[in-house]
Amino acid sequence: MGKNFTFQLIFIFLIRLLLNTGRRFIYPFAPVLGRSLDVPVTAITTIIATSQFTSLFGLFSGPIADRIGNRVVMRTGLALLSIGMLLCGLVPEYLAVFVGLVLASFGKTVFDPAIQSFIGHHVPFTRRGRVIGIIETAWAGSTLIGIPAFALIIEHMGLRISFYVLAFLGALGWLFIARILPPDSKEKGASGEKSGLLSGIFSLFRQRETAGMLLFGFWISIANDGLFVVYGLWLEESFDVSLVTLGFSTVAIGSAELIGEGMTALFSDRIGLKKTIIICLCLVSGAYFILPLIGVSLIWAMVGIFCVFLFFEMVMVTSFSLSTELLPASRATMMSGFYALSGIGRMIGVLIGGILWGFGGITAVAWAASCFTLLGLGSLLWGLSNWQHDGAGGSQGD
């Protein structure tokens, strides 16, 4: 891990920034897309929901990556992004844009487990929290850098050109990834070739460690998206905030995510990945619980929301690092399973959040989120109660 790896790390960060922007830009620009396509905003939210659903199909991309190599699957993800965005630009009709945006979103679903597996193969376990923490800043970066840049392109050149720009950048990434990232060795793909795709997926549920981690991702995702889907309604109804203030709250969440990713990179390896997750799970559960209690003014409500997303981001990013070592022979399979179960949790969280909001407002949502987070903690402790890193993993390929 020298200058060459540092360059690879920068390249991976930029690719993740591109893919995350392609997934997240739909949220703030749903009204713009609706007006451009002459459809109601509900038609755009249907695209968002379908894009989230693609995470389920990511279950199969991990075992494929373990069989044919991470770099091939990463290029496939970039190709899907480029083709999807090109379709949106060439055919500005609702059905074509629907298909194009879902394809682009699926590109991220395919890419993410493969890149986490790549890092697991090339970065020692003792430094993995730092490296994955750095890479994951691209998630917050999409909110703080990618989406504002996208907005400038739309403002000055129009929506169609913005699609072409993303397609072009995706094609550049596809071209250069084979030149910048090393090919997968035969040894690393060998384990995945011995079993079928479905047996690789089912193996995640047969082992206590991996099953516990999957359940952990499921529960905490229900908690976070349950709050995320209603926090804007809470701010509007309780404090009569303007659209600008709601927009600022998104920046606050992005900043919390960025700080959480940075703190993960700085401290998780020193503290220990498992211990970091446990500590931050307790903190985020407490943040959920006190949110309705301290949220008596807009400032304190924003402080509470900031703390929730700060600690939650630390939990998620550190869990990525830990998950890459639970099944070293099939890292991409493990990561695709984790992303898929978390995606299911997000979808359920959206539904539960709306129901709980109608039943008991922010108190019901936040306290339920605290309980779901504790269920995630219980799943983690159950799964990893006897797991210890042997000190040998993660150094292969260095």
Contacts 24+ apart (CB under 8 A), 365-371: 365/226, 365/227, 365/230, 366/227, 366/288, 366/289, 366/291, 366/292, 367/288, 367/289, 367/292, 368/223, 368/226, 369/222, 369/223, 369/224, 369/226, 369/227, 369/288, 370/223, 370/285, 370/286, 370/288, 370/289
Instruction: Determine, yes or no, domain membership for 193.
Output: no
Instruction: Determine, yes or no, domain membership for 252.
Output: yes
- Give pLDDT tens digits for 284-295: 999 999 999 999
Residue with tokens 């400032």: 299
The reported pLDDT for the residue numbered 93 is 92
Question: Both 335 and 262 in a single domain?
Answer: yes
CATH code at position 76: 1.20.1250.20
- Give pLDDT tens digits for 75-118: 999 999 999 999 999 999 999 999 999 999 999 989 988 898 88
Separation of alpha carbons 20 and 13, rounded Å: 10
Question: Both 230 and 378 in a single domain?
Answer: yes
The reported pLDDT for the residue numbered 177 is 93
Question: Both 78 and 15 in a single domain?
Answer: yes
Instruction: To the nearest 10°, report the CA torsion of 22, 28, 34, 36.
Output: -70
- Give pLDDT tens digits for 108-147: 989 988 898 888 888 888 888 888 888 889 988 887 888 8
Separation of alpha carbons 166 and 101, rounded Å: 11
Question: Both 213 and 329 in a single domain?
Answer: yes
Q: 316 is in which domain, residue-wise?
A: 203-383
**Do residues 125 and 398 make contact, with C-beta atoms less than 8 angstroms apart?**
no
3-state helix, strand, coil in the chain (%, to 5): 85, 0, 15
The reported pLDDT for the residue numbered 222 is 94
Instruction: Determine, yes or no, domain membership for 396.
Output: no
pLDDT band at 396 (very low <50, low <70, confident <90, very high): very low
The reported pLDDT for the residue numbered 392 is 45
- Give pLDDT tens digits for 309-357: 999 999 999 999 999 889 888 888 888 889 889 988 988 888 888 889 9
Question: Both 254 and 335 in a single domain?
Answer: yes
Instruction: Determine, yes or no, domain membership for 92.
Output: yes
Helices 298-323 and 231-239: crossing angle, nearest 10°? 170
Separation of alpha carbons 213 and 23, rounded Å: 25
Instruction: Determine, yes or no, domain membership for 242.
Output: yes
Residue 312's CB is within 10 A of a number of other CB atoms, namely 27
Question: Both 274 and 343 in a single domain?
Answer: yes
Instruction: Determine, yes or no, domain membership for 18.
Output: yes
Question: Both 161 and 208 in a single domain?
Answer: no
pLDDT band at 62 (very low <50, low <70, confident <90, very high): confident
Separation of alpha carbons 226 and 134, rounded Å: 27
Residue with tokens 């985020």: 284
Task: Report the Cα 45 to chain-centroid distance in Å.
Answer: 19
Mean pLDDT of 22-36: 81
What the block records as the tokens of 193 is 């070739």
Question: Both 212 and 66 in a single domain?
Answer: no
Running DSSP on this structure, what letter comes out for residue 233? H
Separation of alpha carbons 358 and 106, rounded Å: 32
Question: Both 338 and 372 in a single domain?
Answer: yes
Question: Both 57 and 146 in a single domain?
Answer: yes
What the block records as the tokens of 351 is 């539904």
Question: Both 208 and 172 in a single domain?
Answer: no
Residue 165's CB is within 10 A of a number of other CB atoms, namely 16
Structurally, the chain folds into a number of domains equal to 2
Phi/psi region, residue 394 (left: phi>0; alpha: psi -120 to 50; beta: rest), is: left
Calculate ∠ Cα 189-56-49, nearest 5°.
Answer: 145
Q: Residue 1 pLDDT more than 50?
A: no
Q: Residue 178 pLDDT more than 90?
A: no
Environment class of residue 297 by beta-carbon count within 10 Å: exposed (0-12), middle (13-18) or buried (19+)? exposed
**Do residues 137 and 20 make contact, with C-beta atoms less than 8 angstroms apart?**
no
Instruction: Determine, yes or no, domain membership for 196.
Output: no
What is the percentage of the chain residues whose pLDDT exceeds 70? 91
| 181-190, 234-243, 264-273, range with greatest mean pLDDT | 264-273
Question: Both 220 and 314 in a single domain?
Answer: yes
How many residues can be counted in the chain?
A: 398
The reported pLDDT for the residue numbered 200 is 60
Mean of all residue pLDDT scores within the chain: 86
Query: Which is more confidently placed, 364 or 352?
Result: 364
Separation of alpha carbons 300 and 109, rounded Å: 35
The reported pLDDT for the residue numbered 193 is 43
Task: Report the Cα 113 to chain-centroid distance in Å.
Answer: 10
The reported pLDDT for the residue numbered 201 is 66
Instruction: Determine, yes or no, domain membership for 184.
Output: no
The reported pLDDT for the residue numbered 189 is 42
